[in-house]
Amino acid sequence: MKETEIPPEHPRAESLRIREKLVEHYKAGIVAKAGLFAHGRGEAFDYLLGEKTTKNALKAIEAAAAALLTAKHPVISVNGNAAALAAKDIVKLAEVTRAKIEVNLFYRSAEREIAIKKLLEAAGAKQVLGVGKAASAKIFEIGSERRRVDPAGILVSEVVLVPLEDGDRTEALVKMGKKVVAIDLNPLSRTAQFATITIVDNIVRAMPALVETAEKLKQEDRRKLESILSDFSNKKNLGEAMNLISQRLSELADKGTFISIAQKGKE
C-alpha cells in the first residue's frame, strides 16, 4: 500500500504512513534492511505505551534539551531510520542547540552515508560530519567498522543524542565518558538501559517535542538548566516508563476485549 493509498479513516493510518515512509527510504538506499525490523520492534512497544508521548517521556525530553543546551560540543548522531523519519527536526534541533550532525551507521556503506547526507542537506543541514574518510577516528571499545567516528564530532563531544541506537555503541559511548541521550521506545533495550537520559517515545513524536522544549529552555539561564539535569534520574524515569506500560496493560486486561467492530451507520 502506497502512502497515498492509505485511507485517512483507517484506524492505523499514521502507523501505516510511517511504515510506508521507511519502505520508500529503504528503496532509496537510506534505510538498511535491518532498520525495517528495528522499526517493528519499536512499534510493538509503542502499542503498549498507547502511541502517545507520556508525561514521563516529556520529563526525559526536558532533561535531554538541558543536556544539549549546556554542552560545549553537542552532537546528533544520525542513522538511516532517524534520517528517514525525522530529518527536518534533526536539522532544527541542531540549529537551536548548536549541535553538529554526524552520520553514524551500524551497517556502514559509502552509498548509504552519502544518501543520508544528501537527505539531511535537502532538509537544510549546512554541515554533515562522519561521511566517508571524515570518520577517521576509532572508538576502541567496539570492534569492526561500527567503531568509526568523526574526530570533529562524536570523538570530541560530551553529549551525544542517539535516536534509535544499538546497545553496543551506546555502551561504548558511555564508557568513553560521554553523556548519551537516547530515543528508544523499548525501556528494556540495552540502549535504553545504558543511556544517561532515555526518552521512551517514538522518534516521530519525540523529535518535534525536543525541538520545542529546547527553544523554550534556551531562554532560561544556565543554573536553571543545570538544576533540571541534576533533578533528573534516568533509573527512576525508566522505572516510571515500565510502570506506565504495566498499569496500562492491567487496565486493559480487566476488560479483555477493548476494541469492538464498528457497525455500519453507527459510531
Backbone angles phi, psi at 73, to 5 degrees: -130, 70
Among 166, 171, 184, 240, binds Mg ion (CB under 5 A): 166
Site string for ligand ATP, 79-98 (x = CB under 6 A): ------x-------------
Backbone angles phi, psi at 130, to 5 degrees: 85, 5
CA distance 113 to 105: 8
The yes or no reply on residue 234 touching ligand ATP (CB under 6 A) is: no
Task: Outline where DSSP puts E strands in 59-208.
Answer: 74-78, 100-103, 137-138, 148-149, 159-163, 179-183, 197-199
The yes or no reply on residue 89 touching Mg ion (CB under 5 A) is: no
**Residue with smaller CB distance to Mg ion, 114 or 142:** 142
Q: Which of residues 147-176 bind ligand ATP (CB under 6 A)?
A: 164, 166-167
Decide: 203 and 163 in contact? Cβ < 8 Å.
yes
**Residue with smaller CB distance to ligand ATP, 90 or 164:** 164
At residue 155's C-alpha, the angle toward residues 208 and 68, to 5°, is 30
**Residue with smaller CB distance to Mg ion, 21 or 190:** 190
Q: In the block, which residue shows the cell 509503542?
A: 46
Distance of closest approach, residue 86 Cβ to ligand ATP, in angstroms: 9
38 binds, among ligand ATP, Mg ion, none (CB under 5 to 8 A by kind): ligand ATP
